[in-house]
Amino acid sequence: MSDHEPHTSRYDGAWVEGAALSRGVALTPERAQEIAASVAPVLDAFSAIADELAVDDDMYEFRRLLAAEARRE
């Protein structure tokens, strides 16, 4: 299980504004706040999922499994 702190406070308007700016998009504080309100629940839930991953959960496992299933079929 996770030993991380809850992430809820991380995804606020200032966080979204900064993330967007780092990718070359300037958002108004109001728009950034709107986005934060919609994405925070998703990102919080995703953080909880990601916290369950082990170091050896590899991003190529999906393709390996599909290839193994092909041999099975």
Partner 1 sequence: MSDMRTWSVAEVAGAIRRGETTCAEVTQARLEQARRVDPELACFIELEAEAAMERAHALDAQADERDRPMFGVPFAHKDVFVGDRFTPSAGSRNVPIHMRGRTSPMLDRLADAGAISLGRLNLDQFGYAATGANPDFGHTRNPWDTDRIAGGSSSGAAAAVATGVVPFAIGSDTGGSVRIPASFCGVVGLKPTFGRLPKRGAVAMSYSQDTLGILARSVKDAAIVLEAAAGHDPLDPSSFDVPAPAFARDLAGESGRLDGVRLGVDRAQLAATTGQDVHAAVETAIGVLEGLGARVVEIDLACLARYDIAATVLTWAEIGAVHGSTFARRRADYAPATRSRLETTLASRGADHVDALRYQGRALLEFRDRILSHVDVVVTATTGRSPETVAAVVDGAEEGVPVSLAALRLNRPFNFLGLPSMSVPIGFASDGLPMGLQLVTRPWAEGRLLACGAAYQTVTDWHRLMPPMADRGAGGTKARQP
Instruction: Output the smallest distance, CB 1 to partner 1, in A.
Output: 15
Instruction: Output the smallest distance, CB 17 to partner 1, in A.
Output: 10
| Residues ≥6 apart with Cβ < 8 Å to 31 | none
Contact 26, 62 (CB under 8 A): no
CA proximity to 27, closest of 17, 14, 13:
17
Which residues bind to partner 1, rule: CB under 8 A? 11, 15-16, 19-20, 23-25, 27, 31, 35-36, 38-39, 42-43, 45-46, 49-50, 53, 57-62, 64-67, 69-70, 73
